[in-house]
Structure 1
Amino acid sequence: MVSTTERHKHDAPEPRRGRGRRGSGGRRRRPRTPRHTPGDIVRGVVRTIGEILLTAGLLMLFYASYEVYGGQWETEREQEELAQGLEEVWAAQEEEESEPGPESEPLPGSADSRLYLPSLDLDWVVVNGTTPQDILNSPGHYTEYDSEPGVAGNYSVAAHRTPGLFWDIDQLEDGDVMVLEDAENFYTYEVFEEQTVLPTDVWVIEPDPFDDASDEEPERSLITLTTCAPKLNNTHRLIVWAELTETTPKSEGMPESIAHMAPDAEEDEE
């Protein structure tokens, strides 16, 4: 027989594991908070500084890209307005069959001519004057000397070294052509020389910069392009010269060299 005492021992429930510790201590131990070592702190600071520098670098890159390329949109918009105004002036002159008198002077900032660089597939309306405001979004015609397209002298033009303006004129080579357009004619010039000079070398825009006897009337008809060099800097000036080789009346249509740049040609391609 099993005694009552032994039966109670067998029937009693077994104690659950883990209760002994909780019962003895009353509370569980909290997990220890990891301590930051000096190395952890240094790595955190370096990581934070790196993220700040990376963000600043990206912002500077975006700003530089806008400075270089963002202005091109404004240039294109202003060129469209100038082109429309120039066509209206030329149309009015043709209807009236009159030209400004010899004593009249071009207004600063007003449209003067159109310049084509077919090898670069670029063209612009050229305004009178080379002040910062004049050439903000257009090439500007130097007015220090009397000069007109197609006549003896030096028709000099300045523009910023930015996309949309004279960014790529360093790609012009000897034999490439430039075309100037006025109310009556197209004037074709051929590139024959390029130089990089100092900003103080203003002789480059004289009536005949290759003739020391500058007091005499010039015999050649030249066009001179000037811009900053190198790109994104203004320590020097890049100069490209071209000489007149052909005059084409507008009644004969555009010269073959720029026929692909005519507005109707662009519409046919579309």
Structure 2
Amino acid sequence: MTYTTERHSSGRGRRRAGGARGRRRAPSRGVRGRSGPRTAGDVARATFRTLGEVLFTAGLVMLFFAAYQVYGKQAQTDNEQSRLDQAVAEQWESEARGPDSEPLPGSANSRLYIPRLDQKWVVVNGVAPDDIRYGPGHYPGTAEAGQVGNYSVAGHRVAAVFWDLDQLVDGDEIVLEDRDNFYTYRVIETEIVTPDQVRVVAPDPFDPEAEPTRSLLTLTTCHPKLQNSHRLIIHAELSETRPKSDGMPASIADMAPEQAE
């Protein structure tokens, strides 16, 4: 009995020893794998992964910024246009500005309607960045609405202003309104030029050296969208002058019915 007991005890001891050795080997292999030296491939993979995350984040930031530039200022522009609309109505009603006085930069100059785009704006005097922040501006020194020469207007390529200007085609109507009349122009030419082509706002943009004989309207904006490497130019020619006493032109009657009185 003593011999048998000792033999079993010895076997259990060996099994326990063997199990202990087996349990110790498993974690030791894991430790060696985690603590081993990093290879060049590991470093390259980590670098590219980090760089990809940074570029992805930067791309999202740029996308949101571009969207804000195009669409985010819509409410601000609408509010400022409402203020300008009231200001120009009061100015025309009171006739406070004398005929020989110089227009103030940023003050209201006319109303501009584009029926195809279902858009209208108050055009201010001046084309400096602060002038056209919330709408189109009239180039100083160019003709007034309806006059012989070239009534020239600049506007930003944003959703609230001239974003869809490229949709205009020959024959489309553009209407200007001043204190006394509505002037209907029809698009006659579209061109894309570099920013140094200032002849587009000359009295006769098709022959800058000639004396103007036609009443023209020119709209300018950046091209392509979200860039400013070129300028999109829309030229139109006066086709009708309508006194306000005759009511609004049919093409814009639904855009500003409050002016039909």
The CA deviation string for residues 6-48 of structure 1, in whole angstroms up to 9 with x for no partner, is 9xx89xxx87x97655468988627232335635554344333
In the TM superposition, residue 253 of structure 1 has moved relative to its aligned partner by 2.4
Q: SS at the partner of 1:43?
A: helix
1:203 and 1:148 map into 2 onto residues whose CA distance is 17
- Residue number in structure 2 paired with 1:243: 237
RMSD: 3.1
Q: What does the per-residue CA deviation read over 1:194-223, in whole Å, with 9 as the maximum and x for residues that have no partner?
A: 222232222222222334653x4x332111
CA distance in 2, matches of 1:45, 1:176: 56
The letter for the 2-side match of 1:66 is Y
Instruction: State whether structure 2 residue 100 is matched by structure 1 residue 100.
Output: no
**Secondary structure class of the residue paired with 1:86:** helix
- 1:186 and 2:188 matched: no
1:137 is aligned to 134
What SS does structure 1 have at the residue aligned with 2:112?
strand
Identity of aligned residues (%): 57
Q: Mark the CA change 1:227 to 1:41 in structure 2 (over 3 Å): closer, same or farther.
A: closer
- 2: CA distance between counterparts of 1:141 and 1:25? 92
1:164-203 equivalences under 5 Å are 164-203=160-199
2:64 to 62, 65, 78: 62
- Name the CA shift for 1:75/1:49 in 2 (closer, same or farther; >3 Å): same
- CA-to-aligned-CA distance 1:41-89 (integer Å, 9 cap, x gap): 5434433332232222222222222233323332222212211222222
Q: Distance in 1 between matches of 2:88 and 2:12?
A: 96
1: distance between equivalents of 2:185 and 2:100? 28
State the AA in 2 paired with 1:29: R
Residue 232 of structure 1 and its aligned partner are, at CA, apart by 2.6
Tell which structure's C-alpha radius of gyration is larger.
Answer: 1
Question: In structure 2, what is the Cα distance between the partners aligned to 1:25 and 1:199?
Answer: 84
- d(CA) in 2 for partners of 1:115, 1:56: 39
Deviates most, 70-79 or 106-115 = 70-79
Shift of 1:264: 6.1
State the TM-score, normalized to the length of structure 2: 0.81
Who is 1:256 aligned against?
A: 250
The 2-side partners of 1:60 and 1:21 are apart by: 66
Q: How many residues align?
A: 250
Query: Structure 2: how far apart are the matches of 1:204 and 1:46?
Result: 49
2:186–2:237 contact (8 Å) kept in structure 1: yes
Aligned-partner Cα distance in 1 for 2:200–2:19 = 97
Considering fraction of residues, name the structure with more helix: 2
1:121-158 C-alpha deviation (Å, 9 max, x unpaired): 1111100011121112211101123x221222211111
Deviates more, 1:23-32 or 1:108-117: 23-32
Contact 2:202 2:208 in 1 (8 A): no
Q: Which residue of 1 aligns with 2:228?
A: 234
> CA 1:231/1:25 → structure 2, altered by over 3 Å: closer, same or farther?
closer
The amino acid across from 1:162 in the alignment is V
Q: In 2 relative to 1, CA 41–208 (structure 1 residues): closer, same or farther, beyond 3 Å?
A: closer
Tell me, which stretches of 5 or more residues in structure 1 are unaligned?
94-98, 266-270
